Amino acid sequence: MALFMSKSISGFSKLSKAKKIDWIVTTYFSNSEEARTIIEQYWNTDAKIQQLHDEFIENTITNYYLPLGVAPNFLINDKLYTIPMVIEESSVVAAASKAAKFWLDRGGFKTKVLSTTKIGQVHFIYHGDVHKLRAFFKHIKPQLLSDTASITKNMADRGGGILDIELRDKTKDKKGYYQLHVSFETLNAMGANFINSCLEQFAKTLKDGAKSFELFSDEEKKIDIVMSILSNYVPDCLVRAEVSCKVEDLTESDLISGEAFAYKFIQAVSIAEVEPYRAVTHNKGIMNGIDAVVLATGNDFRAVEAGVHAYAARHGRYRSLTHAKVEDGIFHFWIEIPLALGTVGGLTKLHPLVKLALELLHHPSAKELMQIVAVAGLAQNFAALRSLTTTGIQKGHMKMHLLNILNQCGANEMEKQTLTEYFKSHTVSHSAVSEALHHLRSGPGVSG
């Protein structure tokens, strides 16, 4: 029986997996055997794959599964894709697929990588003469590059590496604060480990070099390195995705004209450009599509999220990531977004489903993956705005959520089939589904 209270434990990471699970289930769960069964149910039946999962992180006790779905019919730069998406939200894959099909017959998505520069920084404190520091930086810069030559060789041989190193004076923001601001090209790698290795060598070279720089006083030679780390804000690692068509071709419904739909759609986007409360939800919908593909391809969705939201606020106010206009009778809808992604390194060669997802996408380069991911975000936003400005978001969303509600209520297969048919013409809500299921079980069936 569980103790119903938390308690500390020493050396937990050194315990075997079995002993870790023993401690967890007996310490925290009233029914330890039920908890153990759930944990073990999600182990992979292939021992090698399970070991691989166990070694991704520390203290692994089981796997946490999310659905991997696919959205077909994405025409991107005249090439067809089926996009893998890992997400638990019920309507996302359906919405992406619907948007892909809509634009398939209207020329598809056009994309372009605008830039691929990534950033890393060495943050340090210096309280001496700024003119001496600038002279020191000019003196030490060639050595910064030469001391990292062994790290950058392979990347440089492929056309990447360190692009530039700048000394930045940040003393207006914080007393004594300076940084080495370094730009990188990491090609098909996301490049975090490469960038951080270079930065840590820069910090060592900077600190050691200051000790012997003849213009520095004894006090000025004591440069204090605070930290060396890449930045997940990548405003110069940009991709653009766009769709366009004649305004009259913008609707498939007889209930609204293309002109009326374009007007409402553009108004919806413009509201997200000026109202932060709306912009956050607007951009969250974009990230539904982006995160799902980032996860499926083994990339870091937390880094992408942080960088994207910082970019949305780059002008001092949080705004929409997408934009729309009508020009000369043509509707245009586009996104420009920072995405630092990789198709080599990390999980790309380890996780079997990541390898499968990348093969599904025709083994894309990092630049190609940037374009695919941006399209997923744009498609998701188009689908959401189309629903919001016409039928309302709940109609389609709750239809997709119906199966989740039925599963929560314990419906069997016959009941699911009957109520799925019934709710094709009725409004879905948790209470309505629960009531319909009750009527189905207690009488001849649902009615009305």
Q: How far is CA 447 from CA 395, 419, 422, in A?
A: 20, 11, 8
Contact 289, 385 (CB under 8 A): no
DSSP 51-83: HHHHTTSTT--S-----EEEEEEEEETTEEEEE
Contacts of 24 (CB under 8 A, 6+ apart): 35, 39, 61
Query: Residue 19: enclosing H or E segment and its boundaries?
Result: helix 17-28
- The third-level CATH classification (topology) of the domain covering 68-115+237-391 is 3.90.770
Task: Please state the pTM of the whole predicted model.
Answer: 0.88
CA distance 137 to 133: 6
Q: Which of 315, 292, 317, 291 is nearest to 304 (CA)?
A: 291
Show pLDDT as tens, one digit a residue, over the chain (448 residues): 444 556 789 999 999 999 999 999 999 999 999 999 999 999 999 999 999 999 999 999 999 999 999 999 999 999 999 999 999 998 899 999 999 999 999 999 999 999 999 999 999 999 999 999 999 999 999 999 999 999 999 999 999 999 999 999 999 999 999 999 999 999 999 999 999 999 999 999 999 999 999 999 999 999 999 999 999 999 999 999 999 999 999 987 777 899 999 999 999 999 999 999 999 999 999 999 999 999 999 999 999 999 999 999 999 999 999 999 999 999 999 999 999 999 998 888 889 999 999 999 999 999 999 999 999 999 999 999 999 998 765 555 555 667 778 888 888 888 888 888 887 777 777 788 888 888 888 876 565 5
As a CATH number, domain 118-230 is 3.30.70.420
Residue at 82: amino acid letter: T
- DSSP assignment of 214-258: TTS-TTTT--EEEEEEE-S--TTSEEEEEEEEEGGGS---TTS-H
CA distance 12 to 30: 21
Residues with a known catalytic role: 89, 284, 300, 397
Q: Where are the chain's structural domains?
A: 1-65, 68-115+237-391, 118-230, 396-442
